[in-house]
Structure 1
């Protein structure tokens, strides 16, 4: 099954829109194949979305909780990101962007973003699940499929 995923800006505008092939779900959330052979995890209740690559790297967008209403899943990107390179180096990104834009965000989003950003940094650095071996099963599954993650026309 294929669904549409929308990554939105806090103002509501669409920042990114694409189709993704549903791989399945587990205790961490819904997993999707993405065009580069990696996988996307949209968690059940956590305020972030994570992209995992076959080389072991990961990128996490701190976001509002995912809203899933078939055939569309969406989230609001709150600027703050965490990346872990294939060599295990972790980068906390976009703090300045967040500080610049956050005065226009609802205060509940600001509090959520800071808390999630710090928690995700700790979990990604420590390879805590789902940032450890949890993506391996889904990466193997994605490798057997023809990717369908193509941009969706506006």
Structure 2
């Protein structure tokens, strides 16, 4: 039986955000890699299940203020980084982090963009983000923009091995 991990993103007030179960693929110098084949589902909060058309892997780095999702083709978003608090392992089968709204996205055509700055500004007020959380999120955004755009690892070829473990797999 596959080693499944519950991945739970919350918002700063503790409400459940994106949540799904993924297969643990392994670990390397970049962190823990989890995978999900195309044809499976994810969920936003307690809402309806959302189908996932393409295989993808998530990298959960150690002590970094982000997570990264790497999507298999033909999805037009190649990499989607959530700026979040460092992943916290509740147990070997559950990880959680607080989504801090900002996202760094690399499209398959090579464009890299910083997304949801308006939501980040709004939530700083709504949820009362402390100054250190704001500073960490902004620093992570700057670092990710450079690293993702410059294809620095793990944003180069590091994901290929892990995507290969789930691409084409069916639930």
Shared fold per TM-score greater than 0.5: yes
1:61-97: CA deviation from partner (whole Å, max 9, x where unpaired): 0000000122210110001001000111111101111
Q: Does 1:51 align with 2:53?
A: no
What does 1:96-115 align with in structure 2 at a 5 Å threshold? 96-103=118-125, 104-115=128-139
Q: 2:81 aligns to what? A: 60
Let me know the Cα RMSD of the aligned residues: 1.3
Runs of 5+ unmatched residues, structure 2: 41-53
Q: Does 1:82 align with 2:104?
A: yes
CA contact (8 A) 2:55 2:72 kept: yes
TM-score normalized with structure 1 length: 0.90
What is the CA–CA distance in structure 1 between the aligned matches of 2:104 and 2:23, rounded to whole Å?
24
Q: Does 1:131 align with 2:158?
A: no
What is the CA–CA distance in structure 1 between the aligned matches of 2:123 and 2:90, rounded to whole Å?
28
1:19-39: CA deviation from partner (whole Å, max 9, x where unpaired): 111111100011111243111
Helix, strand or coil at the partner of 1:131: coil
What is the CA–CA distance in structure 1 between the aligned matches of 2:162 and 2:107, rounded to whole Å?
19
What is the CA–CA distance in structure 2 between the aligned matches of 1:37 and 1:122, rounded to whole Å?
25
Runs of 5+ unmatched residues, structure 1: 148-154
TM-score normalized with structure 2 length: 0.82
Q: Does 1:69 align with 2:71?
A: no
Helix, strand or coil at the partner of 2:24: strand
Question: Per-residue deviation at 1:119?
Answer: 0.4
| Structure possessing the higher relative contact order (Cα contacts under 8 Å, 6 or more residues apart) | 1
Pick the structure with more strand per residue. Answer: 2
Helix, strand or coil at the partner of 1:120: helix
